[in-house]
Structure formats: structure tokens, C-alpha cells
């Protein structure tokens, strides 16, 4: 399956696509770094400018990290339950620079009493940054967890200038 790696300010991001679109975007774990240095062992695109979904994704991630993009426009192929997909698509509705509570995202997804299940769906989000799960915080205003570490979530929120803003 075609994949690419993008070196972000937060570390390497792995992007995986199929013919229908982007299926996974996530930060690589430290154990993957060794493999990243061996360009023969993995499909490799760094800073690609091509017109494929992988190339478009890299360009849009570059623009995001340079504060030139707030909304991603990529072909996405989501695989999950109907509930998960509903929650994940609701993440796209959170404006850049804003945060929302788990309770409100559950309601927005059409499941007002399922905030814990929504939190689990968010934790399983396959498209980090593009489906901005980092914008979902606890109702108390604390940032809460993030699959890739609270330090990355804090950085992303600060990058979008959302820390200490009112929760939507």
C-alpha cells in the first residue's frame, strides 16, 4: 500500500493511502525512526510535489505547519463503525483555533449521551491532524489525552492558538 513520510516540527508523520484516498495519518513511534533512515526498505516521499493523494497530503501538511492552511481538502477513506465515522467526520467541523468538549462532539455527531464512546472513537482516529482530534478537550478545559502524547496535543493547540480560549 502506498505510503509516505513527512518530517513535521513534531517528528515524522506516516501517511498511508489506497486508490480511494488517505486511510491513515499518524506520528511514527521512535522504533520506526531506524526504518525511516533506510530509504530502500520503505516507500518514501519527502516533500513530494506530485498530484497523488500522498503528495497533496504532504503539501497540505506543510502549509498547515507554516500557518498557511486551516482546512484540509483531501480524499479520505475512513474504515470504522458507523458511530466512529460519525464522530470522526464531526471533528472536521471544529474550527481551526477552537476547541470543543467530548460531550459536545458526541452531541454534534448525533449521540448526545455517548461522550465516553465518542472519546474512544476519537482515540482511534486514523487521520491525525486532518481530522483534528487534538481540538477536543475535557469539559473542565484541561487538554485531556492524545494518542501521540499530551506534549504533541499541547503543541498543536498552541500552534493553532487555542490554549486558554473558551471551549466551544
Rounded-to-integer distance, Cα 87 and Cα 155, Å: 23
Q: Locate cell 510535489: which residue?
A: 49
Strand partners, 25: 15, 127
Count of alpha carbons within 13 angstroms of residue 33, beta-carbon side: 6
Q: Which three cell numbers stand for residue 135?
A: 481540538
Please pick, among 133, 136, 156, 157, the residue that the annotation labels catalytic. Answer: 133
User: Is 3 part of the annotated catalytic residue set?
Assistant: no
* Distance in angstroms between the alpha carbons of the first and the last residue of the chain: 38
What does 99-154 look like in DSSP terms, one character per residue?
BEEHHHHHHHTT-TT-HHHHHHHHHT-SBTTTS-GGGEE-TTS-----TT-HHHHH
Strand partners, 15: 4, 25
The residues assigned a catalytic role are 133
Amino acid at each position: 500500500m502506498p505510503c509516505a513520510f513527512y518530517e513535521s516540527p513534531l517528528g515524522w508523520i506516516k501517511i498511508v493511502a489506497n486508490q480511494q484516498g488517505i486511510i491513515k495519518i499518524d506520528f511514527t513511534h521512535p522504533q520506526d525512526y531506524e526504518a525511516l533512515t533506510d530509504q530502500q526498505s520503505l516507500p518514501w516521499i519527502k516533500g513530494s510535489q506530485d498530484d497523488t493523494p500522498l503528495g497533496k497530503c504532504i503539501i497540505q501538511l506543510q502549509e498547515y505547519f507554516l500557518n498557511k492552511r486551516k482546512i484540509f481538502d483531501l480524499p479520505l477513506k475512513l474504515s470504522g463503525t458507523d458511530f466512529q465515522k460519525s464522530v470522526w467526520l464531526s471533528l472536521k467541523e471544529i474550527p481551526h483555533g477552537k476547541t470543543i468538549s467530548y460531550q459536545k462532539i458526541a452531541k454534534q455527531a448525533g449521540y448526545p449521551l455517548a461522550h465516553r464512546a465518542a472519546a474512544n472513537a476519537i482515540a482511534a482516529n486514523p487521520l491525525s491532524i486532518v481530522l483534528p482530534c487534538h481540538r477536543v478537550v475535557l469539559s473542565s478545559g484541561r487538554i485531556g489525552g492524545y494518542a501521540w502524547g499530551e506534549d504533541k496535543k499541547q503543541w498543536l493547540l498552541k500552534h493553532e492558538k487555542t490554549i486558554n480560549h473558551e471551549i466551544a
